[in-house]
């Protein structure tokens, strides 16, 4: 496994080694956990050569967000992915975004709501960094987690609209034993907040039970979830919506399935989660 920090070095390494090989790519911001490892292992299974990036992208953080304190431990991250990744690309921001950098990628329509409304400019930062990485690595397949559902939809749309020759593979959310979605930001939680954070997963399960029982009107489902979350004193809803999983347009009624998007502050830490709500098949 090689650590590469400069774009020209990355291109040279790939040029020497990719001939006749399928290349898989896993973009991360480091602070790796089992969710990232599931992506890396799937990439290793599907491809001959795997590149994993570790880059805390300043463009996707707002002025009051946690860029300066976001967890960084490159040595630990590299130990975790040893054996399933051939190249770790960990550039410096000053090299990746030179002082005169002024080109950005914006996916309109999908970026302005939900996390985009709470974090203005976030998805422009995400799309820009992913476009640059795709251009540099030119992977056959790139792997993303379903936990960041809106991000996955934004990237899929960017790839489609810009005719990028890369397949976007979205993998299932990896969870702790008690159901909490794995996230680098879980490390910010106190013991009590960690217990409070279970309200996100419990809300998803509650919503699915409501749909299985025959409830289809999304406002009634969301109203019940608001009441449920309100009983956790350390939780504050940022947004909650049931949408079409491809267009992210809000649904009034769940006819076949709907994507429940959820963002909740647990103390000062903002956590996101989601689930596809499916109607039970008739027997």
Catalytic residue among 33, 36, 122, 231: 36
* Rounded-to-integer distance, Cα 248 and Cα 263, Å: 15
* Rounded-to-integer distance, Cα 270 and Cα 264, Å: 6
Is residue 33 among the annotated active site residues? no
Find the DSSP H helices in the chain: 7-17, 34-46, 74-81, 93-96, 115-118, 122-137, 149-161, 191-196, 198-212, 218-230
Taken as a whole, the chain contains a residue count of: 283
Helices (H) and strands (E) in the chain, counts: 10, 9
Q: Tell me, letter by letter, the H, E, C secondary structure of 173-228.
A: CCECCCCCECCHHHHHCCHHHHHHCHHHHHHHHHHHHHHHCCCCEHHHHHHHHHHH
**Closest C-alpha among 163, 254, 156, 273 to residue 213:** 254
* Rounded-to-integer distance, Cα 177 and Cα 214, Å: 29
End-to-end Cα separation, the chain, in angstroms = 51
Which tokens is 257 given? 């399935």
Q: How many CB atoms lie within 10 A of CB 269?
A: 20
Question: Which residues form the catalytic set?
Answer: 36
């Amino acid at each position: 496994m090689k650590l590469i920090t400069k774009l020209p070095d990355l291109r040279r390494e790939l040029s020497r080694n990719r001939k006749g090989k399928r290349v898989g790519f896993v973009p991360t911001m480091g602070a790796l956990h089992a969710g990232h490892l599931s992506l890396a292992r799937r990439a290793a299974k599907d491809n001959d050569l795997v590149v994993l990036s570790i880059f805390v992208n300043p463009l996707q953080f707002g002025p009051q967000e946690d860029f300066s304190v976001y967890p960084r431990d490159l040595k630990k991250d590299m130990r975790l992915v040893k054996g399933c990744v051939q190249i770790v690309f960990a550039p410096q921001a000053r090299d990746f975004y030179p002082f005169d950098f002024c080109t950005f990628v914006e996916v309109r329509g999908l970026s302005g709501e939900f996390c985009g409304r709470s974090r203005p400019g976030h998805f422009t930062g995400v799309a820009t960094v992913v476009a640059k990485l795709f251009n540099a690595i030119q992977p056959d397949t790139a792997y993303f987690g379903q936990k960041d559902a809106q991000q996955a939809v934004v990237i899929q749309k960017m790839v489609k609209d810009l005719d990028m020759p890369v397949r976007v593979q979205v993998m299932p959310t990896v969870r702790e034993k008690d159901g909490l979605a794995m996230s680098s930001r879980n490390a910010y939680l106190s013991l009590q907040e960690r217990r409070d954070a279970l309200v996100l997963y419990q809300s998803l399960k509650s919503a699915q039970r409501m749909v299985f029982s025959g409830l289809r009107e999304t406002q009634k489902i969301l109203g019940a979830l608001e009441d449920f979350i309100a009983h956790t004193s350390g939780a504050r809803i940022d947004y909650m919506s049931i949408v079409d999983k491809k267009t992210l347009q809000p649904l009034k009624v769940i006819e076949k399935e709907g994507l429940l998007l959820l963002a909740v502050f647990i103390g000062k830490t903002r956590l996101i989660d989601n689930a596809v709500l499916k109607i039970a098949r008739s027997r």
